[in-house]
Amino acid sequence: MTWADFAAGEVKYWWIITQLWPTDMQEFTPSLSVRQPVDRAWSQKKYLFHCCFKFTLLLCVGLFVLCCALSSGSETWWERFAIREHYNKIFHQTNSVYNPPPYRVHPKHSVKPSETTEATEPPTALPTVAPTGTQYHEAYPRNYHFIMNNIEVCKNNTPFLVLMVPVAPNNVAARDAIRQTWGKESLVQGKVVYTLFMLGLPRGADVEQQQEKLKQENLQHRDLIQSDFVDSYLNLTIKTMVIMDWLATHCLTAAYAMKIDSDMFLNIDNLVIMLQKPGIPKANYLTGMLMWNRPVVRSKNSKWYVSEELYPDPQYPTYTLGMGYVFSNDLPEKFVMASKSIKPFNIEDAYIGMCMRKLGLQVTSPPDPSQFKAYNRVYNRCEYSKIITYILGTSEELVKYWTDLKKPGPPC
């Protein structure tokens, strides 16, 4: 909670207080001069009674506000009071048709399903591979193979943090924007940080041409990792698990890793600072924007629809929103192992939540939950200097905001 938030709250509550008080004052003041002594005594009693009653009422309001302030998680307590949020919450809990998407809360994304869209295809289109000792194969990443790999990245270095960005093969614009902004520096706050892009196989008529372009792009930047699964929206869980497999097999030297979407604003300095805070675990650590008790979307025309057959429980376990989650680098191997026995479904972040549950591990709240933000409000330099994540609309936005944030002069 910032002082501005607090002050805003103060003003609001002061308003409520002034609405309660003056009625008494008005009632009481004229009575002194006009009414009889008996009336006056009665009036005074009434006034005292009113005072007591309203004092108690205010005390209750005060306590309630205090409770909210103390229990606030990722949002400031004032934000929690926002009527829209409030109704959203009620809405989401009572009416399954209006369920919030378990993955992606940004309104733009409900219209524009990322770069890869195949939402109409049934999830049964997931591949089935012959049993090899694993119970479920679709998301088990070792069924897929790397066809483009940059194994030397972690071989010759010991990165502190590796940023893994799943991106559609044809989305060069997003990759270039990231290369110019948060993916640019390999030394952040004195720590080695790498950014790598994860892709599947391109689709469409000109597959060979696309593949050739990717090869050229990789020759130039040496930052593409490609696996041989078909890149599509419904295969995002596979993509995530392939990221985990790559980290576990080719980048064990890294201390931390992050899965971050290509349309994100990332304040990389703040992330590296956060990971160096005392008390941040070095193992079994997964953090980001925590999602609690998220209901599974059962409405068939939703982008986040998951059938009861794929996922029978009505709710997901606690997970971190897929836009960007950070983890200690011992976890990828554990996730890969867990994925052998977890039935895959197309909600990649909730799937990681399932892996955590299977492993008997808890998702951890970040030191300052308000740093992981999904909604992109109006750009504000001061605010962007304090946060870690924000979902953006376009790659141009990323470059524009980043350039503005990095210009000289204090942001606040």
Ligand X SMILES: *[C@@H]1O[C@H](CO)[C@@H](O)[C@H](O)[C@H]1NC(C)=O
Q: Of these, 77, 78, 146, 229, which contacts ligand X (CB under 6 A)?
A: 229
Task: Give the Cβ contact number of residue 245 at 10 Å.
Answer: 22
The least distance separating ligand X from the CB of residue 155, rounded to whole angstroms, comes to 27
* Residue 115 interacting with ligand X (CB under 6 A): no
Q: How far is CA 139 from CA 261, 305, 349, in A?
A: 19, 18, 13
The least distance separating ligand X from the CB of residue 230, rounded to whole angstroms, comes to 4
The least distance separating ligand X from the CB of residue 142, rounded to whole angstroms, comes to 13
The least distance separating ligand X from the CB of residue 334, rounded to whole angstroms, comes to 23
Q: Of these, 10, 85, 121, 206, which contacts ligand X (CB under 6 A)?
A: 121
How far apart (Å, rounded) are the C-alpha atoms in residues 47 and 28? Answer: 7
* Residue 232 interacting with ligand X (CB under 6 A): yes
- Which CB sits closer to ligand X, 302 or 385? 302
- Which CB sits closer to ligand X, 17 or 230? 230
Q: Of these, 230, 273, 280, 399, which contacts ligand X (CB under 6 A)?
A: 230
The least distance separating ligand X from the CB of residue 346, rounded to whole angstroms, comes to 8
Q: Return the closest-CA partner of residue 163 out of 324, 332, 284, 369.
A: 324
β-pairing, 290-291 with 191-201? Answer: unpaired
Q: Of these, 154, 234, 350, 355, which contacts ligand X (CB under 6 A)?
A: 234
Cα-Cα end-to-end distance for the chain = 16
Residue 34 CB partners (closer than 8 Å, separation 6+): none
- Which CB sits closer to ligand X, 121 or 404? 121
The least distance separating ligand X from the CB of residue 153, rounded to whole angstroms, comes to 25
Task: Return the ∠ at Cα 165 (arms to 163 and 167), rounded to 5°.
Answer: 170
The least distance separating ligand X from the CB of residue 223, rounded to whole angstroms, comes to 23
Helix %, strand %, coil % of the chain (to 5): 45, 15, 40
- Which CB sits closer to ligand X, 51 or 125? 125
- Which CB sits closer to ligand X, 159 or 200? 200
* Residue 119 interacting with ligand X (CB under 6 A): no
**DSSP string of 13-74?**
HHHHHHHHHHHHHHHHHHHHHHS-HHHHHHHHHHHHHHHHHHHHHHHHHHHHHHHHHHH--S
Continuous H helices in 200-250 = 207-221, 236-250
3-state secondary structure of 226: strand
* Residue 127 interacting with ligand X (CB under 6 A): yes
* Residue 129 interacting with ligand X (CB under 6 A): no
Name the site residues for ligand X (rule: CB under 6 A): 118, 121, 125-127, 229-230, 232, 234-235, 238
